[in-house]
Amino acid sequence: MPRVAVIPGSFDPVTLGHLDIVKRAAPLFDRLHVLVTHNPGKAALLPFTQRVALLEQAIADAGVEGDVVVDSWSVGLLVDYCVEVGAQVLVKGIRSSTDAEYETPMAIVNRDLAGVETLFLIGDPGTSHVSSSLVRQVAALGGDIRPYVPRAVAEVLQPGGRPARG
């Protein structure tokens, strides 16, 4: 049986921290689904289709090797998607103890609902301070987001490579 995993997230926008987790998870599995999901608790900046396209571009530009599929899912439980694609594992990036506290109950419920285990990967210290919401805020206020996001994202959110205000 192939080892299949899913990395879910809103990826609004994808950051270098997200990309780090994808790069590190890809060689651990035969197939890795990077799944753009709808988070009802957040107002999206970018539409689903654009988030999928930016993820595909970022993964290609980063030279991530392996069978990596970018997809989207907006209806039903995340474990329903896992069952549909034959994934036994969810991969979650953890930046802090707060992330671990938030993710642990969901991991238990996902295991209870569908037997899907959760693998926590600790974020790289160089990117663990970066979140999509922080990137959105910096971009909205005219700051330079290039150190935090893949090139394709910076080009969309800061056309012309606008430098930081100062």
Q: Is residue 164 part of a domain?
A: no
Q: Is residue 73 part of a domain?
A: yes
Active site residue 129: no
pTM: 0.92
Asked if residues 59 and 73 have their Cβ atoms less than 8 Å apart, the reply is no
Percent of the chain whose pLDDT exceeds 70: 96
Q: Is residue 123 part of a domain?
A: yes
59-62: long-range pairs with CB below 8 Å, 24+ = 59/19, 59/22, 59/34, 61/150, 61/151, 61/152, 62/19, 62/22, 62/23, 62/150
Active site residue 132: yes
pLDDT 10s digits, 74-130? 888 999 999 999 999 999 999 999 999 999 999 999 999 999 999 999 999 999 999
Q: Is residue 35 part of a domain?
A: yes
Q: Which domain holds residue 42?
A: 4-157
pLDDT 10s digits, 27-83? 999 999 999 998 777 788 999 999 999 999 999 999 999 999 999 998 889 999 999
Domains identified in the chain, total number? 1
**What is the CATH number for 81?**
3.40.50.620
Q: Is residue 93 part of a domain?
A: yes
The catalytically annotated residue of 33, 132, 136, 146 is 132
- The reported pLDDT for the residue numbered 160 is 60
Active site residue 165: no
Asked if residues 110 and 25 have their Cβ atoms less than 8 Å apart, the reply is no
Active site residue 92: no
